[in-house]
Structure formats: structure tokens, C-alpha cells
Amino acid sequence: AQEFANSKVTVIICDGCEYLKQHTNEFDVIITDSSDPDGPAKVLFEEPYYLLMKSALKQPY
């Protein structure tokens, strides 16, 4: 897709929880495209993941 060619866009495909633990106060936007809240993706629907995303957003948000 043409949008992914924009230098301002970075697509990261990995374990979101582990990635966010290593990156704080870095992002303007975080978009999570996950599967249903079953199996390994279940953690992406729980409060600790949302707190990780909050800490990864640039301050103030």
C-alpha cells in the first residue's frame, strides 16, 4: 500500500507487549491490530497492555 511508503510511518510486527516494555515516551500514535481475545492475543485486551501503551506515548498525551 502506498501509505506504508511514507517516511513518517513505521510498521512493526512483533510481540507488542515485549516491544512496548522497551519503548517509553516515544510514539504519537499506537495502533494495535490483533485477533480475537483468545489464546496468546488475550493479553492485548487486558489492562496491563493498555498501561504499557500509555507509557509508550509521548508526554503529555
From 28, 33, 36, 38, the catalytic residue: 33
Q: Can 33 be counted among the known catalytic residues?
A: yes
The number of beta carbons lying within 10 Å of the beta carbon of residue 20 is: 21
Characterize 26-51 residue by residue with b for buried, 16 or more Cβ atoms within 10 angstroms of its Cβ, and e for exposed.
Answer: eeeeeeeeeeeeeeeeeebeeeebee
Catalytic site positions: 33
